[in-house]
Structure 1
Amino acid sequence: MQQDVEGGDSGSRELEDWLKLTQIPNFSVARLLKFKKKYDIQLSEIFVASTATLQEMGFRQQQIEAIQHPDESAINTSLKWRYAENNRFLIHFEHPNYPFLLRQIASSPPLLYGYGDPKCLNNYQLAMVGSRVPSPQGKENAKTFARRLSECGWTITSGLALGIDGLSHQGAVSGGFTTIAVLGTAIDKMYPRRHIKLGEQILENNGVIISEFAPNTVGRPEYFPRRNRIISGLSQGTLIVEAAIKSGSLITARYALEQNREVFALPGNIHNPMAAGCHHLIQQGAKLVTCIEDINEEFQHLILPTSSEKVHKSEKNMTQSLASDKLLDSVDFEVTPLDIVAQRSGIEVAEVMSQLLEYELRGLVIAVSGGYIKLGEK
């Protein structure tokens, strides 16, 4: 089955060798590159080498067993999945469409399974991650920053998880922009199930969904932290929107630092435990972000698909107009009771309620238990 599709895979013979490689215990892409340099050998030659030669090269018995007796059923399952639909791809580390930035990390996945156009994996990407149970402000920040950054030419990359991840994808697709989702499960097992529709929307907007895990792979909890290195590895930088001290988002930030990528964090209320992780990162040197220009100014050397000048002007004008609004000025970015808003603004409660309803429809505030929260610029 020698197939070669536009933008997709190379021949299945080469693909089979990479599928065999993933079955070799404790044998990574990094080790393969060392072997190729040291022994001047190609991957395909490893699978036809004699036992004595493999032993001389340093392979252990368990590895030799895997090399000489690969699981053909698993290989066929992957190839069958790949060629079942036209919108699927399976690319290996040496394929031209394998993401350039992902090649640079210490633990590059040997294979990427995916839906969509693999060429998008080389877009300029910005990772956005955070809490699975964000505050109302965190939810709004995720959607707003994702959309604004997409307007500037960034491709938003995240993990399709509940909370900030999913909201970041939603912010991108709400404007019809490309976004990339990295699964921590097998490519044929969308998780969480409630995001199946979001996954469809991502693909409808020319986005991509990828996983390093083959079809039918049984899920394990440790796969999700492992997935985070790919999210940060694909991206020029990682923005932590809202996160606790002990969270997967901080694992992603650590990976980003190890990969020599930029780390950004949105500050929050000092009493909000979901902001504690961001504050910790800022104390450790992550860049504090209050608007998209705080991010874009770090990447002035990149030529993004669209200019951010228009977005910056819009953001500045909106900020100026909101600053002069007495009523909106009376609402905090945390829960503000209605009577406090009326007291601060000097406006009657009935009029305050009427105007706040209008602001809520405009997306400037949100009504929550106990009062209102200012959402910031739209």
Structure 2
Amino acid sequence: MNVPAATSVSPAELEARLRLHRLPELGPARFKKLLDAFGSASKALGAPANAWKSLGLPFACAEARREADVRDGASHALSWLERPGQHLLMWDQPDYPALLAEISDPPPFLFVAGDPGILEKPQLAMVGSRRASRPGMDTAAAFSRSLASAGFVITSGLALGIDAAAHQAALDVGGRTVGVLGTGLEKFYPQRNRRLADAMIASGSAVVSEFPLDAAPTASNFPRRNRIISGLSLGVLVVEASVASGSLITARLATEQGREVYAIPGSIHHPGAKGCHQLIREGAMLVETIEHILEALRGWQQLSFSPTVATVTHPLLVLLHAAPHTSESLAISSGWALPKVLAALTELEMDGRAVCESGRWFARVS
């Protein structure tokens, strides 16, 4: 079963968690409230309905936990996890993406098709209109190729338009990319991008979702999906968007999460530029080249990115020469914020001074 070897969750507890995960009106906050109150999902499932009511949980939650489709769905998820390349990450386990764990409402589960290890690598999100113009698509592809070539994982929502252009361009240069769905992994939407998702999985990238495998597309799922796109990433680049675009939701969430927001300007006569212009007025960084993004990250982490800095005197390299570390343990040991650590590790990796293997960072010996 493709759950972490270091997990402390028993098979019975995993099955119970999967059952809770399928209950109606049970989002991340209520899921965690149940586990905090009862100590485990297994005990929560066995608790009386009035105990659930005392926690302020809806009656529908308590009633649905014994329904056949809840049990069957959990069993199906366990079978799904038996197949190669299909994984489940849980918010209280060591392989959960550390940057995502910092947001206010991290998803309890992430179903992953592909390589879960890339979720710990430094990511930049690229989002924009589903009905993008041809120049917008070309711009998205150009930025994605450059950022992927610079070592960043490109993260987006696998929607039509800008999202698809960004994912495809990263693949075209041999880069890695992460697609975050607003549906379950077995209810892929939109179907027009199914082949792109398959190519991502086959090439060592990943497609992820917090929703049960059979969750269908509903309007409320996509804003929830957006917080994961921004939460996994160091920053969000909005390429082309109207003022009503869901991309502006992603940008707002990024700001709330303490992430950088970048926006590419356009013609004042083009409706697809108005959302980016609004973001710039609200404080997003105006971006015309990839160097603007790289410089912003360099200034943010208050490090010079010249090759002479990346020596054994670099604080992170000193730690890595002593022992391998995860990015999260580097943040603890160095006292740096995790986004700053991830940005610094990206530069060290680009300089050939550090390498990530199986979720742990090692110093390269020159």
When normalised by structure 1's length, the TM-score is 0.73
Distance 2:92 2:4 in 1: 16
Q: Deviations over 1:90-141 (max 9, x none)?
A: 2222222222222222332222112112121121111000112222321111
1:273 aligns to what? 271
Residue 308 of structure 1 and its aligned partner are, at CA, apart by: 9.8
The answer to whether the aligner puts 1:166 opposite 2:207 as a matched pair is no
2:72 aligns to what? 73
Distance 1:117 1:266, change over 3 A: same
In structure 1, list runs of 5 or more residues that go unmatched: 311-378
8 Å CA contact retained: 1:130, 1:165: yes
Distance 1:67 1:197, change over 3 A: closer
2:12 aligns to what? 13
Distance 1:8 1:169 in 2: 31
Report the residue type matching 1:231 in the other structure.
I
Distance 1:160 1:62, change over 3 A: closer
Q: Deviations over 1:285-321 (max 9, x none)?
A: 11101111211223223224456989xxxxxxxxxxx
Spell out the pairing of 1:84-163 with structure 2 (5 A cutoff): 85-163=83-161
Report the residue type matching 1:303 in the other structure.
A
Report the residue type matching 2:140 in the other structure.
A
Distance 1:281 1:4, change over 3 A: closer
Report the residue type matching 1:118 in the other structure.
P
1:47 to 45, 48, 66: 45
2:248 aligns to what? 250
Distance 1:227 1:55, change over 3 A: closer
RMSD: 2.6
Q: Percent identity?
A: 41
Report the residue type matching 1:48 in the other structure.
G
Spell out the pairing of 1:1-378 with structure 2 (5 A cutoff): 3=1, 11-34=10-33, 39=37, 41-51=39-49, 53-59=51-57, 61-67=59-65, 71-83=70-82, 85-300=83-298, 301=301, 302-306=343-347
Distance 1:59 1:168, change over 3 A: closer
8 Å CA contact retained: 2:151, 2:175: no
Residue 53 of structure 1 and its aligned partner are, at CA, apart by: 4.5
Larger radius of gyration: 1
Residue 205 of structure 1 and its aligned partner are, at CA, apart by: 2.6
SS of equivalent to 1:47: helix
Distance 2:240 2:274 in 1: 8
SS of equivalent to 1:303: helix
In structure 2, list runs of 5 or more residues that go unmatched: 302-342, 352-366
Distance 1:145 1:68 in 2: 49
8 Å CA contact retained: 1:29, 1:108: yes
Distance 1:122 1:308 in 2: 13
Residue 73 of structure 1 and its aligned partner are, at CA, apart by: 1.2
Distance 2:349 2:14 in 1: 40
8 Å CA contact retained: 1:121, 1:234: yes
SS of equivalent to 2:46: coil
8 Å CA contact retained: 2:129, 2:241: yes
Residue 217 of structure 1 and its aligned partner are, at CA, apart by: 2.2
Residue 248 of structure 1 and its aligned partner are, at CA, apart by: 1.2
8 Å CA contact retained: 1:18, 1:111: no
When normalised by structure 2's length, the TM-score is 0.75
Distance 1:11 1:36, change over 3 A: closer
Distance 1:129 1:204, change over 3 A: same
